[in-house]
Amino acid sequence: MKIYYSDHYTVQLPVGHRFPMEKYRLLREKLVAEGIVTAAELYEPELPARDIITLAHSPEYFDAYAAGTVDPKIIRRIGLPWSKELFRRSLASVGGAIGSAYSAFECGIGGNLAGGTHHAFREHGEGFCVFNDFAVVILHLIKCGLIHRAAIVDLDVHQGNGNCGILGANPDVYIFSMHGGKNYPFA
């Protein structure tokens, strides 16, 4: 089994920021300390190229985010301040999701200690999600001919609104989202 983790999953946020960015590092430390995962099972994800990310996101959004010129309204929707480090972190997280999908084909199982960025839409991120790893992975695997259909079973307390926005009209993708009724995104 391959489990993907990068020190880039944790970036510095302003003091008092409500997003628990340290959770990725803490999860890695806990899994290793408990003997659930060995260091040899942790793999550094490759950063996906622009053409892979733009299977799910518009080239305009990707380019603006990469350059740090994305509209301040979108940054506000994302809820995380733009930085080169956050851009790299967002790519690494998607790379880990892609790697874990390939591991599932090779070994029957794979893992990524970040991800679940189901609030990012084609033209913008939101809800602490810059790029939608679910959509990128599914569209990449379909394009490569490794799968023809996919199902997302999303059991997060929040609705995967970005998944629905990007993949909802795709007849080859089934989305099941069970979430709290009175919670973000309040849809």
Residue 187 has pLDDT above 70, yes or no: no
Q: Which of 5, 20, 11 is nearest to 113 (CA)?
A: 5
Type of residue numbered 5: Y
CATH architecture observed for domain 2-148: 3-Layer(aba) Sandwich (3.40)
Structure tokens given for 93: 């997280």
Domain ranges of the chain: 2-148
Tokens of 64: 């603006």
Distance in angstroms (rounded) separating the CA atoms of residues 95 and 4: 9
Per-residue pLDDT tens digits for 69-105? 999 999 999 999 999 999 999 999 999 999 999 999 9
Q: Tens digit of pLDDT for each residue in 108-157?
A: 999 999 999 999 999 999 999 999 999 999 999 999 999 999 999 999 88
Residue-wise pLDDT tens digits, 12-50: 999 999 999 999 999 999 999 999 999 888 999 999 999
Q: What is this structure's pTM?
A: 0.94
